[in-house]
Homo-oligomer: A and B are copies of this chain.
Amino acid sequence: MSPEAKRVTPNDDAPYELIYWPGIPGRGELIRLLFEEAGVPYNDTAKTAGNNAVPTVLGYMSPDNKGDATNPPVFASPILKHGDLVINQTPNILLYLAPKLGLAPAEGDALFHLNEIVLTILDGFVGEVHETHHPIASSLNYEDQKPEAKKRSEVFVNERLPKYLGYVQRVLDAKTSGDGPWLYGGKLTYADLVLFQCIDGTQYAFPKAVGKLKDSGKYDSVFKLSDAVQERPNIKKYLGSDRRSAYSHGIWRLYPELDQE
């Protein structure tokens, strides 16, 4: 019997619950933006669980978490609970949600193009950005890996950041982006929301580096897209609300000594 066969609650009418660390945008923000754009309510434990927000995340990540009858244990947050389904891994949650929220087609090859674009953007502007301040160990403080962080950041600013921005610009120049500012198929998809968050966060962490690349004029469509997302009415409302956390100690951190033109 497959795990599905045991499922008791149909997911589609169930409420969405996002489980993520409180106090930072972080990877959770990539999920929040889909709900906010779609205007679909969600319970965000970072905002609603109060003192229980951190223990909730830690409970899911604990070695004592053995999963349940229909869900394997998860490795890390963000985690999405929808009815009796529990899943994690940011690109996986996005792929699950986007078609349900009208931000990707429900099936077909386009989903694999969108997933590939999103995975690449996350590699560059989330994974590699995190490595700039934690190149040796996530478990150590930044202060304990500063010389290595400086070296890794130089490579990020000089090689990796232009490489990823160049990739996104090429996706926007390609025929598959269609008309208008969006990455794929001529209409807004979840990939555009992900790109906005990634550009916004990376610009916070590396204002000089991103500023210089922006001024170069080589990636105009990328920054134009990011601006266009910010002008979406629901996103604009969200960004101006107190639901949007300020950047601080998460993935996108401002260490001026790591930034350079």
Write the residues of chain A forming the contact surface with B, with a CB cutoff of 8 angstroms.
Answer: 2-4, 7, 11, 63, 65-76, 85, 87-89, 91-92, 95-96, 105, 108-110, 112-113, 115-117, 119-120, 123, 127, 131, 135-137, 139-140, 148, 151-152, 155, 159, 164, 166-167, 170-171, 173-178, 183-185
Closest to A67 in B: B174
Please pick, from B140, B164, B171, the residue contacting A72 in the complex, using a CB distance under 8 A: B171
Q: Number of copies of this chain in the oligomer? A: 2
Q: Give me the 6 closest cross-chain CB pairs, A-B, nearest first.
A: A67-B174, A137-B155, A89-B119, A89-B116, A75-B120, A72-B176
Q: Are B75's CB and A167's CB within 8 A?
A: yes
CB distance from A20 to the nearest CB of B (A): 15
CB distance from A21 to the nearest CB of B (A): 18
CB-CB < 8 A to A116: which residues of B? 72, 74, 87-89, 92
CB-CB < 8 A to A174: which residues of B? 66-67, 72-73
Q: A73-B171, A87-B112, A89-B120 are in contact. List 4 more A-B contacts (CB 8 A).
A: A3-B178, A7-B109, A70-B176, A85-B112
Q: Are B151's CB and A72's CB within 8 A?
A: no
CB distance from A103 to the nearest CB of B (A): 14
Can you spell out 19 A-B residue pairs with CB atoms less than 8 angstroms apart?
A: A2-B105, A3-B110, A4-B108, A4-B109, A71-B113, A72-B174, A72-B183, A73-B174, A74-B116, A75-B120, A85-B112, A89-B115, A89-B119, A92-B119, A135-B135, A136-B148, A137-B152, A139-B159, A148-B148
CB-CB < 8 A to A185: which residues of B? 2-3
Closest to A88 in B: B116
Q: Are A113's CB and B170's CB within 8 A?
A: no
- When A75-B120, A109-B11, A174-B73 are in contact, do A115 and B92 touch as well, CB less than 8 Å? yes
Q: Are B110's CB and A4's CB within 8 A?
A: yes
Please pick, from B69, B85, B135, the residue contacting A152 in the complex, using a CB distance under 8 A: B135
